[in-house]
Amino acid sequence: MYKAGRPYHGRMISSPPPSSLHSLFEAQHRASRAQAEVPLALRRERLLKMRALLAQHGAALAGAVQADFGVRSPQLTEIADLFVLRTLLAGALKNLARWMKPVRVRTPLYLQPARAFLLRQPLGVVGVISPWNYPVQLALGPVITALAAGNRVMLKPSELTPRTSALLAELIGQSFAPEELCVVQGDGDVAAAFAGLPFDHLFFTGSTAVGRKVAAAAAANLTPTTLELGGKSPCIIDASCDLEQAALKIAHGKLLNAGQTCIAPDYVLLPEGREAAFAQAFERAVARLFPSIEGNPDYAAIISPRQHARLQALLDDARNDSARVQEIIPGNGTAAAAGSRQMPPALVFHPAPDSRLLNEEIFGPILPVLPYQSLDEAIAYVNARPRPLALYWFGTDAAARHKVLSRTVSGGVTVNDTLMHIAHPHLPFGGVGESGWGAYHGEAGFLRLTHQKPVLAQSKWARGDLFYPPYGRRFDQVMGLLKRII
């Protein structure tokens, strides 16, 4: 068994042949059709298995994530991956019986004395394609939600975190029958074949560009999807805010996992003339959070040399466009060692409007800073771009806050902090427009992966015959009465 802190030498499962992929799906599909009603006891049993898996192997999973990143502290995985999953499990186990109950629906007078209700049933087989940035939370979070809803689940984790994916496959294989929950490993070709399976629902977390391909593949089978994508999440700093506190919270949200977070602040809008004060406050915040960068286990490495090179290219492009780049290296100011992927934070002032920094999701520790002259200008800037996954506002002016909240649309919002709306177990989490569609967490996720079947139970005292042909005077009288009372 894998031990935290040690290299993982377990067998990496090679890409399955298409026949194997279809066989796994067919087994789950048959099982889901043979057991359309999944009782509370069985759902709880599956959730308790997942809770035991995390309790017994959380340290090993954190070690695998650390090995995949090169530098990423187990404590970061504990708070950002494992703790979030534990809260999801606790909420599901506590509320599952209530969520599963049929929901009574009021019946209008003209259909009485019939009764109506919604019967909450599993969809069947749910596919989950998860990313690399939080490879445990974003893999198992949708899985937990799907199991709570009574579904069978096939999981395709990221090939960019192979140790974590292999360990997930091993642990899930030990705890679950493959017709309940299984893991499929492989590269992008496997992910494409996976997305083309005729699931009852397909859940994808990743980039907007790949999300378009997943949606297109699912559409061929009329498979409904939940897409948790990314986008340019803004931070709006109001003139009324405490800049020191705002800078600390923005630095934490931006630099958690070195900016490799889908809801990380992607750019800052602040009142014109406060750029220097913000830069100083942000530099102090970085030094407080990360007294050093190179070799600091709390400051995650960029996931791969390719991603590191992409981020460096964004900075080079900004410099070539005459933007001012302020790299922040706290402590003794030692530059990164050769080959290091621990990338220092950087503020970028006056980036060109058509720059890649302002038009691509950054997904790294680079933060453009854009001044505005009026709040209306800041709101217009946000609204002129695709709707973001998250929006952050800092200030004490209630009227200004209401203006921003009412005149912008985003997947979620945190006021006077960053990231924290995702930690609330009863708030739906999801995007809107190009940042995705569908939401999960809590009851919202349960309902997303549940079919609410409408049922009308007719009474033996029903007089539906009043509406039968042949139509005549009696029909006209009945319809005349209904027109007056509805």
Average of pLDDT values for 317-344? Answer: 86
Average of pLDDT values for 81-96? Answer: 96
pLDDT higher than threshold 60 for residue 11? no
pLDDT reported for residue 331: 77
pLDDT band at 334, cuts 50/70/90?
Answer: low
pLDDT reported for residue 16: 65
Residue 112 burial by Cβ neighbours in a 10 Å radius (0-12, 13-18, 19+): middle
Cα dihedral 189, 195, 197, 198, rounded to 10, equals -170
Dump pLDDT digits (tens) for 283-308: 999 999 999 999 999 999 999 999 99
Which stretches does DSSP call E strand in 152-252?
A: 152-156, 181-183, 201-205, 225-228, 234-237
pLDDT higher than threshold 70 for residue 4? no
* The token pair that represents 384 in the structure block: 């002129």
pLDDT reported for residue 9: 39
CA separation for the pair 290, 299 (Å, rounded)? 7
Nearest of 229, 194, 200, 199 to residue 212 by alpha carbon: 229
pLDDT reported for residue 3: 36
User: In one letter, which amino acid is 98?
Assistant: R
Nearest of 367, 330, 360, 322 to residue 346 by alpha carbon: 367
Phi/psi of residue 340, nearest 5 degrees = -70, 145
pLDDT band at 7, cuts 50/70/90?
Answer: very low
pLDDT band at 482, cuts 50/70/90?
Answer: confident
Give 373's DSSP letter.
Answer: S
Phi/psi of residue 292, nearest 5 degrees = -145, 160
Coil, strand or helix: which one is 219?
helix
CA separation for the pair 130, 258 (Å, rounded)? 19
Nearest of 454, 476, 466, 455 to residue 110 by alpha carbon: 466
In the chain, the percentage of residues whose pLDDT exceeds 70 is 95
Total Cβ atoms within 10 A of residue 359: 12
Which stretches does DSSP call E strand in 238-376?
A: 267-271, 324-327, 346-349, 366-372
Nearest of 191, 135, 207 to residue 165 by alpha carbon: 135
| Lowest-pLDDT choice from 166-180, 268-282, 312-326, 458-472 | 458-472
Q: Which domains does the chain have, with CATH numbers?
A: 18-229+439-451 (3.40.605.10), 234-429 (3.40.309.10)
CB 436 within 8 A of CB 419: no
Give 269's DSSP letter.
Answer: E
CA separation for the pair 195, 149 (Å, rounded)? 21
State which H helix or E strand residue 125 sits in: strand 125-129
Residue with the larger pLDDT of the pair 187 and 466: 187
- pTM value? 0.92
Q: Which residues contact 31 (CB under 8 A, 6 or more apart)?
A: 152, 179, 180
Just list the catalytic residues: 228, 262
pLDDT higher than threshold 70 for residue 216? yes
Give the CA angle between residues 390, 134, 303 to the nearest 5°.
105
